[in-house]
Amino acid sequence: MKIRENHLEAGHFYHIFNRGVNSRLVFLNDENCRFFLRKAGLYLIPYFDIYAYCLMPNHFHFLLQVKSEMDGILPFKKSGLHSEECFFSKQMARLISSYTQAFNKVYQRSGPIFESPFKRIRIDSEEYLRNIIIYIHQNPENFQNYKFSSYLAVISDTRTNIRRNELIELFGDRENFVECHKRELNENFVKDFQL
């Protein structure tokens, strides 16, 4: 199935990821990461629940659940680019486009910085869901202290837009969440997402 035909559907979880064109850096400093996360808040939070994320220098990962209460609320056409089946994917595209425009302006460049289209995988089981959360958080080498991942927000009590309580509940409790992150994932699982 072609990626663009794999629409994001209300109520479902998706692993969304993308990397820089030719694996080039897309986050050059901390301010780039903070700006991208602010844009994610603007474009994603109204329509998605964020369960996990990680920004690496040349790519990003999100675990999102499309909000189910969107059904019937937004004025969708029955088909075409403005249909419900395209709307949620377009929100992710808007995030990428907005960041790209700002990045290009700041660094006096032009053209895309991310590969197109972004990758998306629908999560089909609770075990897969738990494993993808661990995978996203374990991206950085020293993930327990990495600033631009949701891991620290989950284990702390700081204010966050991450669905912390629901996320911890998937692992039973916070202690088990931390313990599960200490184990290595199966190689076959990890190779599916190698950028």
Can you give the CATH number for the domain in which 133 is found? 3.30.70.1290
Question: What is the layout of strands, in order, in the sheet containing 13-19?
Answer: 48-56, 59-66, 13-19, 119-122
CA 142, 44, 40 angle in degrees (round to 5)? 50
pLDDT at res. 88: 87
The number of folded domains in the chain is 1
pLDDT at res. 3: 44
pLDDT tens-digit readout, 124-168: 999 999 999 999 999 999 999 999 999 999 999 999 999 999 999
Global confidence as pTM = 0.88
pLDDT at res. 81: 47
Residue span of the structural domain in which 178 resides = 3-191
Residues of the chain with pLDDT under 50: 1-4, 76-79, 81-82
